[in-house]
Every structure is written in C-alpha cells, then in structure tokens.
C-alpha cells in the first residue's frame, strides 16, 4: 500500500465516478472536487478499488493519516467522504456494510468565530469613503458583506437585478444553489444606490449582469474582493492579514445577536442549514457579556491595588480590627457589650 499522500498516475474508479456524478446534482462543485480529492487519496493508499476496502484497511489508513501529522479536521473530512461513498454503495446494494462508519474520529474543538468590534467595522467602512467609481463600489461591497452577512461567493455572484432597493432586500444564491432573501439596512441601501447611480455605469464597459465589477469591466472575483478588504483594512489602521470577507460575516451575526436578534432569524439570514452552526455565535456573545459584566458591575469588578491597600490599612488601625467596616463593626461591638 502507498502512503496516503503518495502521488502516482490517477486511475479512474468507475464506482467513485458514479458516486461523484450523483453528488454533483446535490452539492456545490467545490464540495464535489473536495470529495474527489479525498477519495483519490484513499484509493492511492489502498492500491485497489475503494469499494473493496475492509474496516481494518480503513483503520490503518486513518492511523497513517495521524502518523503523517494531518489535523483532526482533515482526517474527519476524509472519513466523511468515505462514509458518504459507502452509504451510496449500500443504497445501490453493492455492499451490506459501511466500514467507514466504525472509524473513530479525533475530537475537533470548534474555534469561536473571530469578529470585528462595531467600531472597527465602522472604521473599515469609512476607509472606503470616496466619490470615484471604485470607491463607491468598495463601500457598497463592505456595507453588503457587513450589513447582510453574505459569503464572499454570494456577494460577487449577485446580479444587478437581484437587488431590490425599494424594499431593501437582496436575493442571494447560497451553498448548494439554495436561494434566500436577506434584508439590508439603510446604510447598505444608500451605498448600493450611490454605486448603481454613480459608480457602476462607469465600470460597466462590457455590459455585464453582475452587480460588482472590476476596473476592466469584468465581474469582480473572489481574489479581488479579498484584495479590496486588505487595502481598506490597512487604510483603516487594522491588521490587513486579519480582515477578510468572512470576518465581516462573523461580525454581522455576532453584532445582531448582541443587539437582541433571535437565533432562528440570524440562521435564516446567514443561510445556515443547521442551527448548531449559528449557535457558535452565541458563545462569542456570551463571552463578551461576561467581559462587560466584570468591567461594569461594582460587585464584579476587581478592585485596584490602591483600593486593596487602603482596605488592608484600615483593618490594621490602632483601634483594632473591625474599624471602618460599617454595620459588621457595630454588630461586633454590640456582641462584646452583651458579653
């Protein structure tokens, strides 16, 4: 058997090709390609058709992935691809079992989403201020990413006809080709109106349907959107390597929940299929609430060194312990007198 990372002439496995063809009807192209790569790695390791693999072989494969230093997330993803393939084999009647279902996966700690503060988000938007066509485009893009929580692929995939400024709505095609309608606020609506009136007409030299265009009149690309945000972050005094489109999506969700929005509504606006994905943002807001509580509440604040020192010195006055402690001292004296 070869190492899981071994490279050789890629042989087409008809069982895998049939599975991927069916998967392409339900999943996004990038997902299909990821499954193709993962199953190809498994096939290269086995040196035989994947459909004939045993549980012991899959366990050895997983152990080899760990030995090669792959992350738990990568191992879990590759195992998930194998499970889906064998589930497909079961549905076809080609196998009675799903050997990948018995593979024990490493526990994955879900990192909390990183976000911008509301002030940082405002600085990023202000950095795009200007009257030139590209400046109007950049401001509209940032306002839409932050004001509607769109994925970068959704934002650059928007058509001009998909924006309804009268009702302040955008029609988005999300993962798996699912369509959703997302409301936008006044700031995003005004930025889009300015861009459509005074920016986009000067960029639209090729009469493209896409909403966001580049300087040559073509559709704005994912890489172009990343570059725009990086330049704006640098101009706003933020770390340009920290700021990316998905950070604005995280910030959108977190700031909504901190403002009192309910979880289901945020789930629908983000286009999450599973509520547990949206619930990650509640952990971020809980963490912030705790920080604010300890900073703001007088019974939760940590006293300064001066306050602690003053308290200790008061307790050591010549009049004896207890002086300066209010009601407790009065009660102590009363008990002594009664004795």
Query: Which two tokens mark 16?
Result: 């895998």
pTM score, whole prediction: 0.55
Asked if 138 and 83 sit in the same domain, the reply is no
Q: Is 278 domain-assigned?
A: yes
Is 249 tagged catalytic?
Answer: yes
The 3-state DSSP class for residue 78 equals helix
pLDDT at 43 over 70: yes
Q: What's the pLDDT band for 330 if we cut at 50, 70, 90?
A: very low
Asked if 172 and 248 sit in the same domain, the reply is yes
pLDDT at 41 over 90: yes
Asked if 166 and 231 sit in the same domain, the reply is yes
Asked if 135 and 272 sit in the same domain, the reply is yes
Asked if 236 and 279 sit in the same domain, the reply is yes
Q: Is 41 domain-assigned?
A: yes
Is 244 tagged catalytic?
Answer: no
Most confident of 200-204, 247-251, 333-337: 200-204
Is 202 tagged catalytic?
Answer: no
The 3-state DSSP class for residue 178 equals coil
Is 299 tagged catalytic?
Answer: no
Is 60 tagged catalytic?
Answer: no
Q: Is 111 domain-assigned?
A: no
pLDDT in tens, 183-204: 898 999 999 999 999 999 999 9
pLDDT at 112 over 80: no
Asked if 92 and 123 sit in the same domain, the reply is no
- Domain with residue 287: its CATH number is 1.10.443.10
Q: Is 282 domain-assigned?
A: yes
Which listed residue (88, 137, 151, 200) is catalytic? Answer: 151
Asked if 74 and 124 sit in the same domain, the reply is no
Query: Which two tokens mark 242?
Result: 């920290």
Q: How far apart are CA 203 and CA 132, in angstroms?
A: 11
How many domains are contained in the chain? 2
Residue ranges making up the domain that contains 164: 118-293
What integer is the mean pLDDT of 107-118?
73
Is 246 tagged catalytic?
Answer: yes
Q: Is 188 domain-assigned?
A: yes
Asked if 91 and 122 sit in the same domain, the reply is no
Q: Is 330 domain-assigned?
A: no
CA angle 207, 212, 215 (to 5 degrees): 75
Which listed residue (77, 95, 171, 175) is catalytic? Answer: 175
Q: How far apart are CA 70 and CA 108, in angstroms?
A: 13
Which listed residue (87, 231, 235, 272) is catalytic? Answer: 272
- Domain with residue 88: its CATH number is 1.10.150.130
Asked if 45 and 82 sit in the same domain, the reply is yes
């Amino acid at each position: 058997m070869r190492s899981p990372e071994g490279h050789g002439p890629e042989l087409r496995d008809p069982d895998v090709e049939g599975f991927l063809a069916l998967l392409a009807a339900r999943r996004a192209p990038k997902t299909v390609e990821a499954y193709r790569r993962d199953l190809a790695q498994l096939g290269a390791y086995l040196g035989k058709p994947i459909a004939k693999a045993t549980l012991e072989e899959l366990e050895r494969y997983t152990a080899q992935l760990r030995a090669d230093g792959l992350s738990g997330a990568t191992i879990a993803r590759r195992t998930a691809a194998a499970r889906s393939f064998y589930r497909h084999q079961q549905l076809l009647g080609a196998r009675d079992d799903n050997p990948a279902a018995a593979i024990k996966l490493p526990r994955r700690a879900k990192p909390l989403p990183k976000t911008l503060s509301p002030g940082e988000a405002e600085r990023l938007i202000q950095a795009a201020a200007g009257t030139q066509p590209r400046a109007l485009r950049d401001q509209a893009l940032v306002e839409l990413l932050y004001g509607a929580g769109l994925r970068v692929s959704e934002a650059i995939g928007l058509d001009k006809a998909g924006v309804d400024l009268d009702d302040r709505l955008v029609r988005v095609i999300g993962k798996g080709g699912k369509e959703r309608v997302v409301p936008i606020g006044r700031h995003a609506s005004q930025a889009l109106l300015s861009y459509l009136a005074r920016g986009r007409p000067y960029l639209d030299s090729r009469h493209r349907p896409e909403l966001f265009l580049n300087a040559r009149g073509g559709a704005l690309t994912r890489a172009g959107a990343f570059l725009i945000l990086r330049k704006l972050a640098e101009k706003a005094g933020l770390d340009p390597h920290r700021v990316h489109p998905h950070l604005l999506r995280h910030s959108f969700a977190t700031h909504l929940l901190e403002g009192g929005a309910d979880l289901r509504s945020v789930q629908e606006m983000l286009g999450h299929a599973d509520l547990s994905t949206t619930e990650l943002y509640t952990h971020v807001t809980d963490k912030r609430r705790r920080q604010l509580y300890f900073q703001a509440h007088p019974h939760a604040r940590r006293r300064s060194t001066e306050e602690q020192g003053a308290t200790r010195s008061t307790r050591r006055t010549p009049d004896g312990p207890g002086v300066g402690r209010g009601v407790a001292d009065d009660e102590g004296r009363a008990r002594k007198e009664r004795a």
